[in-house]
Structure 1
Amino acid sequence: MTVNSLKMSLYIGIFTIFVSLFFVIFNQIDLLTSARYYTPGLGFTFNNTELATLLKQVVRPSFKLASILCILFILLLSFLMPKTMKAMRKHALFFFTCLALGPALMVEGVLKNVFGRARQQDIIEFGGVLNFSPAWIISGECTKNCSFVSGDVSGIAVLMAVPLIMSRFRLTLTISILALTGLAMTYRVVAGKHFLSDSVIAACLTIGLVYFIHYLFYQRQKKNIKAFETEKPGKKQTSQPT
């Protein structure tokens, strides 16, 4: 079944606006959610578990490295074997563009630096010295590697690009990636690294961007071709004398 990526990106964009307004108006939800995993004097205790150590030292760096190496490998093969790997080259460029414009530029390059939101573990309510600020509010509390939005969640959510270029198992892959994104969101909140709004908004923005880039790569050209074909003048009909 063909997905209309432009409509999907629009729907996700509208949903992101409503979700953002909810977190801005009811900003105490971020504090209440984080407080469930914070113990006074001990901090966010999940970070003391073996699972947290495994995720931080092994899973996170391995996942990032594997994503980069896969893209580079496909790009290399596509240029070494241009005829047989033409489609794969386009897919690799699509995925690379999603990574570059999503987690790299939008999240790490712009949002984190512009809004300067302090992380949970650094604010006064959770034993830190910085002030809490709601989502989408420019605070300047943080100057580097800030909280809004989550780069880890964005890095997982960008995998939604994969089912968009798969003809088989699309629904299964979509559900799996959404579930994995949800786990990443939970991990970052429980570990005291991001607020709930950081994670939710990061996922929405990234997935919406992925659908829009997919439209530009795969559907815009087809749409223009169809429009051009419909504008071609038809054959003139000659009337027979009566």
Structure 2
Amino acid sequence: MNRTGLFIALGLAVVIGLLFGIFPELDLKLGALFYDAAQKTFPLKLNAVASFARDAAMWIAWGFALPAIAAFVVKMIRPDRPMLISGRAATFLLVTLLLSAGILTNFTFKTYWGRPRPVAVTEFAGDKSFVPWWDPRGTCGRNCSFFSGEGATAFWTYAPAALAPPQWRVVAFGAATVFGIATSALRMAFGGHFFTDVAIAGIVTYLVIWLAYAMIYRWPSTRLTDAQVDAALTRFARRWRRRETDPRPSAS
């Protein structure tokens, strides 16, 4: 997670944001590549193999998060035992996943940014008006198009890639990029998202991961050690268990 990656991500954000802001019809043209105008549908969303691939992509992403989840659960149950994996790694993986694929996506933008999905706009036989990526005033009421939660989850695999051994890191980042692009292309092919939805999901996710990695591993003022994480979780788990077992004071 070096500065080169940061500059590339910021550069892509500027180029994509400006290009699709000035020419928003590009989103419609890219979406039309997957649309069958004669049948008025996105054919691939009815394909069983493609649907399985979409589900499998999410299983793979969550599979990378499973060791971190297990480490935290076991630590809450047995606070006296050391973490199953590196405390910093577990914190890094879960914090970045929750922020990028959870809080920023589903609890922030998709809730308050009313951009309709491709399948819902009139250009693709829907009943809602298309709006560009920067306009939050669309008529989608909930679970909207901007930005893609599944795209963010797929690109979150940059986080485990950042923890790969140095000699494998370039390969890991390449694999995460291919995985994120392939998953995002499926979402576009199903009519679930526009290009800007998945592209910005990938950029935002990378920036979250870059910042979290810098804070936890690189910057002297904020970086952590495994011992610090383990000690903090031990204290938290013991307090939580004590609160659960202590009887509540009776009302006078």
Q: TM class by shorter-chain length? A: 0.7 to 0.9
**Residue segments in structure 2 that go unaligned for 5+ positions in a row:** 224-252
Cα distance, 1:78–1:91 mapped onto 2, change above 3 Å: farther
Query: How much is the aligned-residue C-alpha RMSD, in angstroms?
Result: 2.6
1:75-122 deviations in Å (ceiling 9; x for gaps)? 245664877648612101111110111110111111112221000000
3-state SS in 1 of match to 2:31: helix
Aligned equivalents of 1:174, 1:95: Cα separation in 2: 15
Moved more, 46-55 or 210-219: 46-55
Distance 1:202 1:223, change over 3 A: closer
SS in 1 for 2:140: coil
1:40-86 Cα deviation digits (max 9, x unpaired): 33400111212133235x42563465355332212245664877648
Q: Percent identity?
A: 21
What pairs up with 1:1-242 in 2 under 5 angstroms? 3-4=1-2, 8-9=5-6, 11-40=8-37, 41-56=39-54, 58-59=55-56, 62-63=59-60, 66-67=63-64, 69-77=66-74, 80=78, 85=83, 88-168=86-166, 169-221=168-220
Does the 8 Å CA contact 1:123/1:130 hold for their aligned counterparts? Answer: yes
Q: Is the 8 A contact 1:13 1:205 kept in 2?
A: no
What's the TM-score once normalised by structure 2's chain length? 0.78
- Tell me: CA distance 1:81–1:4, structure 2 relative to 1, closer, same or farther (3 Å): farther
**1:214, CA displacement in angstroms?**
0.6
How many residues are matched?
A: 221
Q: Secondary structure at the residue paired with 1:221? A: coil
2:61–2:157: 8 Å Cα contact kept in structure 1? no
C-alpha deviation, 1:34, in angstroms: 0.9
Pick which of 68-77 and 37-46 moved more. Answer: 68-77
Runs of 5+ in structure 1 lacking a partner? 225-242
Match of 1:240 in 2: none
**Residues 119 and 193, structure 1, Cα contact 8 Å, conserved in 2:** yes
1:235 alignment partner in structure 2:
none
Task: Quote the Cα distance in structure 1 between the aligned partners of 2:165 and 2:107.
Answer: 33
Distance 2:152 2:58 in 1: 15
- Residues 203-226 of structure 1 show CA distances to partners (whole Å, capped at 9, x for unaligned) of 0111111101110111112799xx
Distance 1:68 1:119 in 2: 28
1:239 aligned partner: none
Q: Contact 2:64–2:160 (CA<8 Å) still a contact in 1?
A: no
* Distance in 1 separating the partners of 2:50 and 2:35: 15
